[in-house]
Amino acid sequence: MPVDPVDMSGARILITGPTGQVALPVVEHFAKIADVHALARFSKQADRDTIEALGASVIAADLADPAAVAAIPGDFDYVLNFAVVKSGNFDYDLAANGGGVGNLMTRCSKARAVLHISSAGVYQYHGHEPRREGNPLGDNHRSMFPTYSISKIASETVCRFVARQHGIPTTIARLSVPYGDNGGWMYFHMLMMQQGLPIDIHPEGPNLYNPIHVDDYIEKIPYLLGAATPEVTTTNFGGSEPVSIEQWCGHISDLTGLTPEFNKTTNAFGSLCIDTTRMHELIGRTRVDWRDGIRRQLQALAPEVLK
The CA angle 240-144-215, to the nearest 5 degrees, is 30
pLDDT score at 145: 67
Contact 56, 37 (CB under 8 A): yes
Q: Which residues pair with 179 in a beta bridge?
A: 184, 213
Quick: pLDDT tens for 170-193.
999 999 999 999 999 999 999 999
- Per-residue confidence band for 202, with pLDDT thresholds at 50, 70 and 90: very high
Contact 101, 159 (CB under 8 A): yes
Rounded Cα distance, 188 and 211, in Å: 14
Quick: pLDDT tens for 252-263.
999 999 999 999
pLDDT score at 268: 86
- Of 241, 253, 255, which Cα lies nearest the Cα of 211? 241
- CB neighbour list of residue 53: distance below 8 Å, 6 or more residues apart: none
pLDDT at 143 over 80: no
- CB neighbour list of residue 39: distance below 8 Å, 6 or more residues apart: 14, 15, 16, 18, 59, 60, 61, 63, 72, 83
Between the CA atoms of 19, 22, 23 and 25, what dihedral angle is there, to the nearest 10 degrees?
100
- In CATH terms, 181-208+241-271+288-305 corresponds, of 3.90.25, 1.10.12, 3.40.190, 3.40.50, to 3.90.25
Domain segments of the chain as ranges: 12-179+211-237, 181-208+241-271+288-305
- Per-residue confidence band for 212, with pLDDT thresholds at 50, 70 and 90: very high
Q: What is the mean pLDDT of residues 76-102?
A: 92
Rounded Cα distance, 190 and 131, in Å: 27
Q: Which residues pair with 131 in a beta bridge?
A: 274
pLDDT at 47 over 80: yes
Rounded Cα distance, 232 and 221, in Å: 15
State pTM to two decimals.
0.96
pLDDT score at 270: 86
Alpha helices (H) along the chain: 24-30, 45-53, 66-70, 90-94, 100-107, 148-166, 185-194, 214-226, 245-256, 277-283, 290-301
- Percent of residues, the chain, with pLDDT higher than 90: 87
Give DSSP secondary structure letters for 16-63.
Answer: ESTTSTTTHHHHHHHTTTSEEEEEE---SHHHHHHHHHTTPEEEE--T
Query: Which CATH architecture is the domain 12-179+211-237 placed in?
Result: 3-Layer(aba) Sandwich (3.40)
- For residue 307, how many other CB atoms are within 10 A of its CB? 7
pLDDT at 56 over 90: yes
- Percent of residues, the chain, with pLDDT higher than 70: 99
How far is CA 83 from its chain centroid?
9
